[in-house]
Amino acid sequence: MTEPSRIPPSTLFVQLFAKHQSALNAFISSLVATRMDVDDVMQETSLALWRKWEDFDVNRDFLRWACGIAHIEVLRHRRRSATDRLWLNEEVIGLLSVEMIEEAGLFDMRREALAKCIDKLTEADRTVVDLRYQTGMTVDKMAESLGKTSRSVHRTMARIRRLLHTCITAKIRNASGYHA
């Protein structure tokens, strides 16, 4: 990736926002009750992030900053919808926010490790992963497409999951400096 100081500010914002959008959405989902509320808060958060973009220090963690703004937007949304009895109190939301911000960094680390580990798979194994998780194909359809039995596809997927789990765990341990 190009050095942040050399990228136009609006382009950098779009890149960082796109990279962290799913984690930010998950963060908001953990704090509000309904999908409609998540969408509303996400929209308000997106606007607030854009408005405050000039104040963002590109040397800081974008996701942590965005989650902090999202937390504020959740509280604003809660005040606007105070008649809804399903809301958590502000102290609980604050505690959940802190926990989710910490988890967001781990989520990004896991996602990056997963991408690297998938790249290490054989072409045949990557095809199985793509068929199942990119296209959403059922195991029976995969078996038909690959000319294998459903049982064989299940065994292959279990083996791939074990490989990915081992690889991701090793990458996260190496990244965090933890060695058991």
Long-range contacts of 32-38, Cβ-Cβ distance < 8 Å, separation of 24 or more:
32/74, 32/77, 32/78, 33/84, 33/86, 33/87, 37/77, 37/81
pLDDT for the residue numbered 87: 54
Three-class DSSP category at 83: coil
pLDDT for the residue numbered 89: 64
pLDDT for the residue numbered 80: 80
* Number of Cβ within a 10 Å radius of residue 62: 20
* Number of Cβ within a 10 Å radius of residue 167: 17
Helix axes 139-146, 150-176, angle to 10 degrees: 110
Q: What is the pTM of this model?
A: 0.49
Nearest to 128 by CA among 150, 160, 151: 160
The amino acid sitting at 164 is L
Please compute Rg for the chain using Cα positions: 20
- Sorted by where each starts, the structural domains of the chain and their CATH numbers stand as 1-107 (1.10.1740.10), 121-180 (1.10.10)
pLDDT tens digits, residue range 61-102? 999 999 999 999 998 888 887 655 555 666 777 777 777 776
d(CA 167, CA 130): 18
Q: Are 175 and 109 in contact (CB under 8 A)?
A: yes
Q: What is the pLDDT along the chain (180 residues), one digit of tens a residue?
A: 555 556 677 888 899 999 999 989 988 988 887 889 999 999 999 999 999 999 888 888 999 999 999 999 998 888 887 655 555 666 777 777 777 776 766 777 888 899 999 999 999 999 999 999 888 889 999 999 999 999 999 999 999 999 999 999 998 888 766 544
The amino acid sitting at 153 is V
Q: Are 6 and 49 in contact (CB under 8 A)?
A: no
Give me the DSSP letters along 26-72.
HHHHTTSSSHHHHHHHHHHHHHHHHHHGGG--TTS-HHHHHHHHHHH
